[in-house]
Structure 1
């Protein structure tokens, strides 16, 4: 019984840790995707994948100017980085 409870707690904790940020601004206030990507590229990012998350944030996978792999969530209105993995 104890192992069942412990397993349930670990699964719940893992699900919480993997949740991505949520953005709530209406889409008509978002920066256009093309302009947003271009701005990131001028900062030295190389974007392999760009997407809108289920939480309605921009997310990129790629490399930074130092060549380090990045996964970053951005607010689509302000462009502020919300979380980096």
Structure 2
């Protein structure tokens, strides 16, 4: 029983360490998704996948100008990158 509880605790800690940043702005202040995507693509990124992360940030998976794979979290209000993996 202890090993099950310990395993669950370790998974929870590991999941928290992998999770992205948190964005706390109210949704009515967010940049529209279409405008955000257009802005990011104008910066040279190609978006393969776009989503709203669990932490309520805009998140993209795709490639940068050089064709390198990227995973980036953005502030949904300003559109600025806040974390890249």
TM-score by length of 1: 0.84
Where does residue 45 of structure 1 map in the other structure? 45
Where does residue 35 of structure 1 map in the other structure? 35
Give the total of aligned pairs: 85
In the alignment, structure 2 segments of 5+ residues that lack a partner are none
Q: CA RMSD in A?
A: 2.0
Q: What is the alpha-carbon distance in structure 1 between the residues aligned to residue 20 and residue 27 of structure 2?
A: 18
Per-residue deviation, 1:15? 2.0
Q: What is the alpha-carbon distance in structure 1 between the residues aligned to residue 32 and residue 7 of structure 2?
A: 43
Where does residue 58 of structure 1 map in the other structure? 58
Per-residue deviation, 1:11? 3.6
Indicate the SS of the match to 1:77. Answer: coil
Per-residue deviation, 1:8? 6.7
Q: What is the alpha-carbon distance in structure 1 between the residues aligned to residue 19 and residue 42 of structure 2?
A: 29
Per-residue deviation, 1:16? 2.5
In the alignment, structure 1 segments of 5+ residues that lack a partner are none
Q: What is the alpha-carbon distance in structure 1 between the residues aligned to residue 47 and residue 27 of structure 2?
A: 22
Off by >4 Å, runs of 4+ in structure 1: 6-10
